Amino acid sequence: MRPTVGTTPPRTLTIAGTDSGGGAGIAADLRAFAACGVHGCLAVCAVTVQNTVGVTGVHTVPVETIAGQIGVVAADIGLQAAKTGMLATAEIIAAVARACDDNGIGADRATPLVVDPVAASMHGDPLLAGEALDAYRETLFPRATLVTPNLDEIRLLVEHDVTDRDGQYAAARALHALGAHAVLVKGGHLPGDAEGCLDLLYDGETFVELPGPRFDTANTHGGGDSLASAITAGLAHGLHLVEAVRFGKRYIVEAVRHSYPLGAGHGPVSPLWAVRPWWETPAP
Ligand code: PXL
């Protein structure tokens, strides 16, 4: 994984939305990609008008432009892994599914696909049209190498109200039945979990528990995006799924540990926690 001068790194693609506050969405994805040693490409699907307090506007990109962005980078640059974030509408989800098929992206294709089914911001502002849940369930999940919902998204997608570890297992089974190759049930939104923050990976046969610490902070904006991006980077490096998820978990624990306050609302995790201040090293 160590970069060498003049060598092209693995290439990844984020298909997602922007956050003008710079904490979540494509900004977080590209920073996580950079920190994880891959070149990041982007297909912008939606632009949000947003700061740390909330989302006051959403503008979607025409589906031809979204498919165009995916197609041109896949054809020219080549992709070792891709992920989706905020897709906003059923129409965009359908267009992204088609573009994935056209460009060899998805489970059992050359380019694995991580689907982070973003539904709302941390403030509860909607980032997904209500009728788009069916599109996720029917078109994108069956194409996914991994889906990474949080507990709020799980409530919307499979109507499981997860309140404990058994609930995480039940939700993982219900989500897997929707057709994804594997699911990661994130425990970050499970309050009062004294054991920390446990994520649960399930591929239809084996459960893998990924324990981690829980930090007492409200500055977790962009955490889900950064985790899904780090897992995508791990896959692009050629790691097997379980190892890519472990890679992502190690990365996100440190990103949350290094989170910082910003504005009057929720601050972001720090996707660049591992990047050293190069200006403090002697000039050559
Ligand atoms: O963190 C989820 C997310 C993804 N993408 C965009 C967002 C958010 C949360 O606010 O704004 C664009």
What pLDDT, in 10s, does the model give residues 219-278? 999 999 999 999 999 999 999 999 999 999 999 999 999 999 999 999 999 999 999 898
> In terms of DSSP H, where are the helices of the chain?
25-35, 63-76, 90-102, 132-135, 151-158, 165-176, 223-236, 241-257
Q: Is residue 5 part of a domain?
A: no
Q: Identify whether 195 is part of a domain.
A: yes
Residue 127 Cα to ligand 1 midpoint, Å, equals: 7
Helix (H) or strand (E) holding 266: none
Residue 278 falls inside a structural domain = no
Q: Quick check: 143 pLDDT over 80?
A: yes
In a domain, 21, yes or no: yes
Give the residue with greater pLDDT, 221 vs 188. Answer: 221
- Give the amino acid at 179: G
Is the Cβ–Cβ distance between 88 and 46 less than 8 Å?
yes
Q: Is residue 267 within 8 Å of 52, Cβ to Cβ?
A: yes
**Interatomic CA distance for residues 176 and 169, integer angstroms:** 11
Which residue puts its alpha carbon closest to atom 4 of ligand 1?
A: 25
CA R_g for the chain:
18
- What CATH number has the domain bearing residue 27? 3.40.1190.20
Residue nearest atom 9 of ligand 1, based on CA coordinates: 121
Q: How far apart are CA 70 and CA 253, in angstroms?
A: 30
**Is position 250 within any domain?**
yes
pLDDT (tens digit per residue) in 67-80: 999 999 999 999 99
Rounded to whole angstroms, the Cα distance separating 234 from 247 reads: 6
Residue with more model confidence, 275 or 94: 94
Tokens matching residue 8: 């092209």
Q: Which domain holds residue 87?
A: 11-259
Query: Do the beta carbons of residue 25 and residue 43 sit within 8 Å?
Result: no
d(CA 242, CA 105): 19
* CA 37/CA 9 separation, integer angstroms: 7
Q: What tokens does 276 get? A: 């050293």
pLDDT for the residue numbered 5: 87
pLDDT (0 to 100) of residue 191 = 72
**How much is the mean pLDDT over the chain?**
95
User: Taking 90 as the threshold, does the pLDDT of residue 189 lie above it?
Assistant: no
- Contact (Cβ atoms closer than 8 angstroms) between residue 87 and residue 56: no
- Give the amino acid at 181: H
Counting from 1 in the atom list of ligand 1, the atom nearest the Cα of 225 is 1
Q: Ligand 1: which of 118, 252, 269 to mutate, judged by most atoms within 8 Å of the beta carbon?
A: 118
* Predicted confidence band of residue 152 (pLDDT cuts 50, 70, 90): very high
Indicate whether residue 268 lines ligand 1 (CB < 6 A): no
Is 61 inside a domain boundary? yes
pLDDT tens digits along 156-181: 999 999 999 999 999 999 999 999 99
Mean pLDDT (whole number) for 130-150? 96
In short, whether 50's Cβ falls inside 6 Å of ligand 1 is yes
